[in-house]
Structure 1
Amino acid sequence: MRLDKFLKVSRLIKRRTVANEACDAGRVSVNGKVAKAGVAVKAGDIIEIGFGTRNVKIEVLDVTETVRKEEAKDLFRYL
């Protein structure tokens, strides 16, 4: 699954266009490398997102095309 779509489906970022802009600005990295929006994300990847002065680091547990709001938190875990 594309990185920008995963960020939206997992509800880490509210909209896909915002996720796309964050990737273009270099604020998102996958496994320690700055990533573009089209990078393929799979279970086990480590994603780091810069939100202003705060960094969020997560591990991808599952990749699903669609998921209900209550189950979105099961797609990743915070590190």
Structure 2
Amino acid sequence: MRLDKFLKISRIIKRRSVAKEVADKGRIQINGTLAKSSSSVKVGDILKIQFGNRILEVAVKELHESTKKEDAAKMYELLSETRVDNFE
């Protein structure tokens, strides 16, 4: 499954266009490798996503073509959520 589609269906990011933009700006890694929106996501992959001053690290648990809101959280497991404070 494409990375941008996984992020939308799992509801980590609400819109696919936003997921594509975040990925194409180099803010997402799959298993430590920089990912594009078209990168393939498999069960067991570790995603590291940077949202402004937050970094989410999630493990991919399930892949579905579509899902209900209640089932979306079952698609991934939150490993860590880190705040990054940029003091310069």
Which band: TM-score by shorter chain? over 0.9
- The within-5 A match list for 1:36-51 is 36-51=36-51
Q: Which residue of 2 aligns with 1:63?
A: 63
CA distance in 1 between counterparts of 2:21 and 2:29 reads 13
CA distance in 2 between counterparts of 1:60 and 1:47 reads 8
Offset, 1:32 = 0.3
Offset, 1:53 = 1.0
Q: Which residue of 1 aligns with 2:33?
A: 33
Spell out, residue by residue over 1:34-74, the C-alpha distance to the aligned partner (whole angstroms, 9 max, x if none). Answer: 10011110100000100111100000000110010000000
- What is the TM-score of this pair, normalised by structure 2? 0.88
SS at 1:41 equivalent: coil
Instruction: Work out the number of aligned pairs and report it.
Output: 79
- Paired residue type of 1:48: K
Gaps of 5+ in 1: none
Superposition CA RMSD, Å:
0.4
CA distance in 2 between counterparts of 1:13 and 1:71 reads 15
Q: Which residue of 1 aligns with 2:23?
A: 23
SS at 2:73 equivalent: helix
CA distance in 2 between counterparts of 1:14 and 1:78 reads 17
SS at 1:48 equivalent: strand
Bigger Cα Rg? 2
